Structure formats: C-alpha cells, structure tokens
C-alpha cells in the first residue's frame, strides 16, 4: 500500500498545478475594468427590434433563397443601420467617446490577460483543453471587438451633440444590435460572393434567421482549435518557420523613407510616440493611472521631445494628425469619391481610416490602445 508521503514523492517530477509569478505592466491602464458585454436579454431586445424593422420592410413569413434572400437582407441591413444612426444621434459625443474607449480597452486588457494565462499554463498540469479555451476566447474577443469598434466609429462618423449620456444599459443594447447587423452583413457577403449556399427565414413573428445549408460552425471550431495549437506550440516544429532574409533594420529604414516621403515623419518616430502615449502615467508625477487620458497637442509634444531622441519638432504634430480618426474619413475608401452608405466594414485594404489604425479622437486620446497599435504595426 502506497503511503501519502510516497504518493507525493511520485508527483514531484510532474508539472505543478499552479505557480506564483510577477509580470511587468506594459501599459498605463488599470486592471479588471468591466467590459460591459451584452447579456442574453440585450440580444433578445435587439432581436425584437430587428423583427420590428423586418415588419416595416414588408418582409413576409417564409423562406428566401439565394438572390431573393440577398435583396431582402440588404433591405433589412439598411433599416438596421438607420436605426443605429438614430440611436447614436441621441447622445453627447464628448462624454460618450471616453466611455466607449474605456470599454474597448477593457476588452483588450481582458483578452491579453486571458491569453497570457493560457500560454503560461503550458508550464502547469491542468485539467482542461488549452486549445479549446484559447480558440473560444479568441473567437469571442474578435467578434466583440468588431462590435465595439463599429460603435466607436459610428459615433465619430455622426458626431452627435444631444444631451443624453450613454450608460451601461444602452451601450449593451447597441452592441447587441450591432452584433445582429454584422450577422446580416456576413450573410449578405456570403450570398454575394458565393462562399457557401444559404438563405433567410422569416417566421410569423417577423423574427429573421439566417439559414446555412451546411452547419459550418463545427468546421470553424475545428480550424480555430488547430490554429490555437499552433500558436500555443502544441503542434508543429518551430524550426520549420520561414524567416525573411531581410534584416529588421533594412525593413525599418525602408518604412522610414516611405513615411517621410508621404507623411513628413518617420515610421520609427511614430512608433516611439505610440510607446510614450501607451505609458502616459509614467511620464508625469501628477498623472494617476486611469482608463482614459486627455491632453493637448502642446502637452504631448513637450513630453515626446523630452523622451524621444532625435525626433524633430516638425514631426510630432503630423504624427498626431495621422493617428486621429476623422468623421469624413471613416465612411470613405481609397480611390472612391462617394461616401459609403455605412461604415465600410466589408472592406479591408481600402479602409484607410478605422479605429484599429487611428486610435485618437479630436481633443482626446487613449494610450492603452496605442501599445496594441504598436504591436500590430510591427
């Protein structure tokens, strides 16, 4: 019979169940800020609104296939966009933007902490499937972050100046409604490009359901878990990774020259400014850590001059201007004069102005997001 002491001795060579560790704080953003993601009741409320809108669009009960479904979906999309616009117009832009940016950076912070925990669990003995948890939380994050970005860009587009203050309840409802909008956009794109056959079903209560001929959710999850295994290093040989023969310095020199020619500042200095802003609370004795910061261009310029070597004064203002998201830009595409009917979420390369590229708003900015922009650019 094995004694308790012997049983514990046998477990020594194995991985520990947990560890205590210390992590450096990368950004000036407080921990555990609430993301206020919508609850099932908010999604139900948003779905009820889509039913009301489908009734106004004269959608009748029945199944709609392919081309007919695309026409009906586009009519519903237009109605949902109009509804979102009318809701956004009720609020005060100056108070809403800090609230919105706090929420999206809380989402970023939550994702970074969760991903870090799963990656560090490789050193531990755990009783869950790491790739399953990683794939699920990454999928949820991507979906919700898309919704939060859309709402921020919508406020920037409309620039509302009414008296209402955006609160938790209305924020959660708007995010849920935007989530449904993206479902309809995705279905319309699938029909337009023939990605996979689907249709649309409207029941007697005017509730709209996107119908997929083949359930792709299982395949998508399998693919996501396979990607998670690669990212976690559970499969694949690191030696098989292909590295560019070009040095990082050569690449940065090329980017610097291109940025100077087109924008009047170097790529390196833009990254340096983003680094300063992402750690804003560390650059002022009277600045306490917060979920949102604001400063004048003059204040930012002085801090950058003090902390960035070899940056010229003529570069700082163009950098801040380049990183500022404007109302006109969010609904225009490269090479297209006409404004889009909605934020062009269906585009990628032609969208030169979107929140994950230009994180600043006029008169205010948030540094927590700046570091993530820095990581994306590199």
pLDDT digits (tens, 9 = 90+) for 250-263: 999 999 999 999 99
Closest CA to 362 of 316, 325, 317: 325
Closest CA to 102 of 303, 325, 294: 294
pLDDT at residue number 166: 95
Q: Please give the Cα distance from 186 to 184 (Å, whole number).
A: 5
Q: What is the pTM of this model?
A: 0.87
Mean pLDDT of the chain: 86
| Token pair listed for 47 | 């779905």
The residue ranking higher by pLDDT, 143 or 125, is 143
Burial class (CB in 10 A: 0-12, 13-18, 19+), 65: middle
pLDDT at residue number 377: 39
Closest CA to 49 of 222, 170, 189, 216: 170
pLDDT at residue number 317: 93
pLDDT at residue number 215: 66
pLDDT at residue number 234: 81
Angle (nearest 5°) at CA 298 between 293 and 302: 90
pLDDT at residue number 364: 45
Residue 362 pLDDT exceeds 70: no
Closest CA to 363 of 305, 315, 301, 297: 297
Least confident of 47-51, 191-195, 365-369: 365-369
| Token pair listed for 195 | 């990605």
DSSP string, 310-350: T--HHHHHHHHHHTB--TTGGG--TT--SPPSS--TT-STT
Q: Please give the Cα distance from 273 to 305 (Å, whole number).
A: 10
User: Average pLDDT in the 134-160 region?
Assistant: 95
Closest CA to 263 of 328, 326, 314: 314
Collapsing DSSP states into helix, strand and coil, what is residue 293? strand
Residue 374 pLDDT exceeds 50: no
DSSP string, 12-35: TTS--S---------SS--TT---
pLDDT at residue number 160: 94
Question: 156 near 327, Cβ under 8 Å?
Answer: yes
**Largest alpha-carbon pair distance within the chain?**
82
Question: 265 near 319, Cβ under 8 Å?
Answer: yes
Angle (nearest 5°) at CA 75 between 74 and 81: 85
Q: Please give the Cα distance from 59 to 235 (Å, whole number).
A: 49
pLDDT digits (tens, 9 = 90+) for 152-162: 999 999 999 99
Residue 195 pLDDT exceeds 90: no
DSSP H/E element including 200: strand 198-202
| Token pair listed for 43 | 């999604």
| Token pair listed for 231 | 């990212």
Collapsing DSSP states into helix, strand and coil, what is residue 211? strand
Question: 46 near 176, Cβ under 8 Å?
Answer: yes
Task: Select, from the ranges 61-70, 130-139, 148-157, 285-294, the one with the highest average predicted confidence (pLDDT).
Answer: 148-157
pLDDT at residue number 273: 94
């Amino acid at each position: 019979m094995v004694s308790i002491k012997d049983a514990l001795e046998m477990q020594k060579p194995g991985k520990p169940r947990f560890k205590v560790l210390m992590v450096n704080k990368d950004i000036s953003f407080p921990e555990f800020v609430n993301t206020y993601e919508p609850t099932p009741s908010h999604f139900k409320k948003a779905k009820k609104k889509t039913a009301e809108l489908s009734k106004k669009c004269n959608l009748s009960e029945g199944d709609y296939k392919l081309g007919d479904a695309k026409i009906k979906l586009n009519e519903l999309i237009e109605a949902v966009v109009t509804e979102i616009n009318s809701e956004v117009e009720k609020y005060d832009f100056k108070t809403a933007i800090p609230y919105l940016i706090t929420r999206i950076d809380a989402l970023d912070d939550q994702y970074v902490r969760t991903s870090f925990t799963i990656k560090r669990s490789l050193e531990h003995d755990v009783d869950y499937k790491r790739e399953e948890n990683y794939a699920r939380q990454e999928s949820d994050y991507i979906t919700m972050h898309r919704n939060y970005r859309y709402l921020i860009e919508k406020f920037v587009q409309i620039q509302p100046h009414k008296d209402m203050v955006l609160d938790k309840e209305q924020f959660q409802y708007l995010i849920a409604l935007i989530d449904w909008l993206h479902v309809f956009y995705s279905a319309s794109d699938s029909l337009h490009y023939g990605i996979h056959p689907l249709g649309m079903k409207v029941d007697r209560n005017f509730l709209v359901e996107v119908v997929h001929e083949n359930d792709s959710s299982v395949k998508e999850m399998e693919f996501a878990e396979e990607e998670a295994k690669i990212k976690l290093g559970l499969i694949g040989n690191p030696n098989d990774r292909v590295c560019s023969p070009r040095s990082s310095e050569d690449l940065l020199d090329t980017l610097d020259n291109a940025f100077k020619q087109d924008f009047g500042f170097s790529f390196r200095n833009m990254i340096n400014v983003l680094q300063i802003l992402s750690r804003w609370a560390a650059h002022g004795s009277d600045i306490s850590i917060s979920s949102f910061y604001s400063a004048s261009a003059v204040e930012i310029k002085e801090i950058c001059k003090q902390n960035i070597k070899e940056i010229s004064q003529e570069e700082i203002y163009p950098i801040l201007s380049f990183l500022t998201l404007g109302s006109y830009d969010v609904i225009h595409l490269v090479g297209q004069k006409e404004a889009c009917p909605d934020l062009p979420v269906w585009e990628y390369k032609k969208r030169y102005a979107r929140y994950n590229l230009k994180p600043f708003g006029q008169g205010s900015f948030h540094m927590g997001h700046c570091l993530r922009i820095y990581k994306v650019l590199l």
